[in-house]
Structure 1
Amino acid sequence: MSWSHPLSLAELSRGALNVRLEPDEAQRKVLAKSLGLVSMPSMSIQLTLRPWLDGAEITGRLSGVVEQVCGISLDRFEQPLEAEFDLRVVPAGSPNAPSESGAGEIELDLDAPDPPDVLEGDVVDLAAVAAEQLSLAVDPFPRKPGATFEYVPDKPEESPFAVLRKLKGEGE
């Protein structure tokens, strides 16, 4: 069972759209497994799509609860998940798509918006966008609240000569 919610960019010609996605239990189970989660008791994603150049601007907010395994205690625990995101998409062959020439140096401006994602056609799968943003929002190193790691170094093993010295009384 796959989760899919396709939307043609042509549907944005009339203006902005608001879409709410709430995967059912079976879809949440598949999502949880693909993200390495124990379970996903609840999840909802609110998306707003607006026309942008020849593509779309997608802003969204996801909220829900995920169950993970603590990386310290290995206990299962539930954790609320909240995230906001925005991205832009353009259809394949768009003049607004980022160039993939590979020649020359790449200049990075950390304050500039990310370049738009290029779709395979003129349809964006909103469920795939939601799943991608969900994967970015999940903590890859979960820690149960209150769990602490206390390092206790191993006792260095005594050499046989040190044991003999103790027996003879020389080490005192």
Structure 2
Amino acid sequence: MSPDPEKILPLSHPIRVEGIKLRPGNVTVSAPAQALPRIAAELGLASLEALEAHYTLSRNGEKVKLEGAIQAKMHQICVVTLESFPVEIKVPMKLDFAPEDEARIAARRGDAGDKDEIDIEVRLNEADPPEPIVDGVIDLGAVTLEFLALALDPYPRKPGVSFDAAPAEPGIESPFAVLAKLKREQ
């Protein structure tokens, strides 16, 4: 049975942990031109012209440290004018990865006895728990897409555009003014 094409990520770059050397190594993840329209559609972008990430990976036993940055050139839709405008972003990244069981234990706080449910308690000035390494593989394409999605402005505005509420028409009272008037009359 072949996998459903809709469930396959538009950008995949799997790295086997055992293939990562003990000294830092550099990896570049680039989205191929044919994947850019699908990535743009999934992220709600008008278009995506370029997506590239540069990572440095280092390994300590079964744990992996990732540092680097994602760079993207795209067009977003302005929430005020509904016009497309160009955007360039650079997202710095630092992540730790650990085998799935270790990552789950590090993320678990306040165990209520349900093994399927994980409660995560957020503490200030404390490092995030490590991301899980699934079956000895880290998919740098999935990591790149996730952090690009998180970096996008959810309410993008074209530079120089501001939202000004339309002034009320002179002969129409606001509903709150009508209610205040009724309250005073009682």
Using the size of structure 2 for normalisation, the TM-score is 0.75
Q: What residue in structure 2 maps to residue 138 of structure 1?
A: 152
SS in 1 for 2:40: helix
Change (3 A) 1:144 1:118: same
Cα separation, 1, equivalents of 2:163 and 2:172? 27
2:63 maps to a residue whose letter is G
Give the conservation status (yes or no) of the 8 Å contact 1:8–1:124: yes
Match of residue 55 from structure 2 = 47
Offset at 1:84?
A: 0.2
1:67 corresponds in structure 2 to: 75
Per the TM alignment, residue 14 of structure 1 is displaced from its structure 2 partner at its CA by 3.9
Alignment of 1:28-47 (within 5 A): 28-47=36-55
Q: Once the 2 structures are TM-superposed, how far is the Cα of residue 67 of structure 1 from its aligned partner? A: 0.5
Alpha-carbon offset, residue 147 of structure 1: 0.6
Deviations 1:17-44 (A, max 9, x none): 2011111111121111111101111121
C-alpha deviation, 1:13, in angstroms: 3.9
SS of structure 2 residue aligned to 1:31 = helix
Q: Which moved more, 1:8-17 or 1:144-153?
A: 8-17
1:114 aligns with 2:128: yes
Q: Taking structure 1 as reference, are residues 98 and 5 closer, same or farther at Cα in structure 2, changes over 3 Å only? A: same
CA distance in 2, matches of 1:62, 1:99: 25
Q: How far has the Cα of 1:59 moved from its partner?
A: 1.0
1:150 and 2:155 matched: no
Unmatched 5+ stretches in structure 2: 1-8, 113-118, 174-186
- Number of aligned pairs? 159
Cα distance between partner residues in 1 of 2:45 and 2:120: 36
1:95 and 1:32 mapped to 2: Cα distance? 31
Per-residue CA deviations over 1:112-132 (Å, capped at 9, x if unaligned) read 221101132210001001111
Could you tell me the percent identity over the aligned residues?
A: 28
TM-score with structure 1 setting the length: 0.81
RMSD: 2.4
Which residue is equivalent to 1:170?
A: none
Structure 1 stretches of 4+ moved >4 Å: 104-107, 156-159
Aligned partner of 2:34 among 17, 20, 26: 26
Task: Report the 3-state secondary structure (helix = DSSP H, G, I; strand = E; otherwise coil) of the residue aligned with 1:132.
Answer: helix
Cα deviation code 1:118-158 (max 9, x no counterpart): 13221000100111111111111100001111112332655
* CA contact 1:97–1:117 (8 Å) conserved in 2: no
Could you tell me which amino acid in structure 1 is paired with residue 133 of structure 2? L
